[in-house]
Amino acid sequence: MDPWPEIPDDVIAWFRNVFAEANRRVCEHLVNLPNVRETSLDDGLVEALIPDTAPTLLSSGAIVRMDKHNIGGLRRLGWPGWPPWDLPYRRRWETADIAILVFIYRHETLIAKKVGLLQSKRLYPDNNDVEEDDETSFRYGMNAFLRREDTQAIGVLYRQFSFNDSCVYGSINAGSDQIRAIETLNQNFGKVVYYLLYNPNEIPLSVSYPLSNRIRIDRPPHVGCRVHDADHMHRSVSGLSEGQSPTYAMMSGGGTEIGWSLETWAADLLLTCQVGEQFDDSRDEAVRYFLERRSGPIGAALAVSITLPEGFSGA
């Protein structure tokens, strides 16, 4: 396999800015809806990247393009029909939610490609009040909205959501099948799966319902969306009892943030081949297998295409 090519600085800067804006928008979504389900945050991340999908010519002469595919939260329910390749193991644990593939071109020729996978998990508020994917409610469809009770619970209107060091990533569970599946994939293919942790812009933070105004985040998040090495995550939960979840304090290193901001991981590390896995045609089938042949297709895929400038050979 040929070495990973040098990427122009303005390409890396462009992607850093794009993902930084997506980070900010997802944080704003989370702080305004502190009990939002994880899949909605995945959808919001993809939506935030849409304005920058058109081919764009940069000052170096490089052309960047992003193509996205998003099927939304339906993937976790497997409805309306179970895919035939999932038999007989329906509802197996997924290994990732978002796939990012990078393709490098010189003129019209594809010269390098790589993949990174993100398993997304959100931080729960201290009351653990988070909307979860619910197959029964999903099957009821609009009935859940139309068939309302004659009275509403006052507690729905007046609630307090607080985020602090003791809050947990409630869908990460020590000893789970999902952890074992991620470890197996990373051992067999190479370190390709990372954890994307959705956090509010700062911690501690409290949000009270009803809101008097929409909360605006107009500066880079101090915490926000962070990407963690799967090995570090699994070591962190290995000392917990089965089923327990890691806290924010465990993932923040006692005040010193561990891992990377989303934009640093995507631009400064993935594009420069410091994280994720490079692959060639001989491993295309393996990439197709873990992108397609799971309990359902990965919820969102982002294909990054970079056409290098004429005559560019690196610094």
DSSP conformation letters of 249-286:
HHHHTTTS--SEEHHIIIIIIITTTSSSEE--GGGHHH
C-alpha to C-alpha distance for 105 and 190, rounded to whole angstroms:
23
Question: What percentage of residues in the chain have a pLDDT greater than 70?
Answer: 81
For residues 284 and 198, which has the higher predicted lDDT (pLDDT)?
A: 198
The single-letter DSSP state of residue 311 is T
C-alpha to C-alpha distance for 296 and 91, rounded to whole angstroms:
8
Q: Which residues contact 32 (CB under 8 A, 6 or more apart)?
A: 207, 211, 214, 215
Q: Which two tokens stand for residue 300?
A: 């969102």
Is the pLDDT score of 71 beyond 70? Answer: no
The single-letter DSSP state of residue 312 is -
Q: Residue 48, SS3? A: helix
Is the pLDDT score of 180 beyond 70? Answer: yes
Q: Where are the alpha helices (DSSP H) in 112-229?
A: 135-140, 143-146, 154-157, 177-189
Peptide bond into 88 cis (omega under 30): yes
Which among 125, 121, 116 has a CA at the least distance from the CA of 251?
121
Binned at pLDDT 50, 70 and 90, residue 69 comes out as confident
Q: Which two tokens stand for residue 160?
A: 């307090």
pLDDT for 25 equals 97
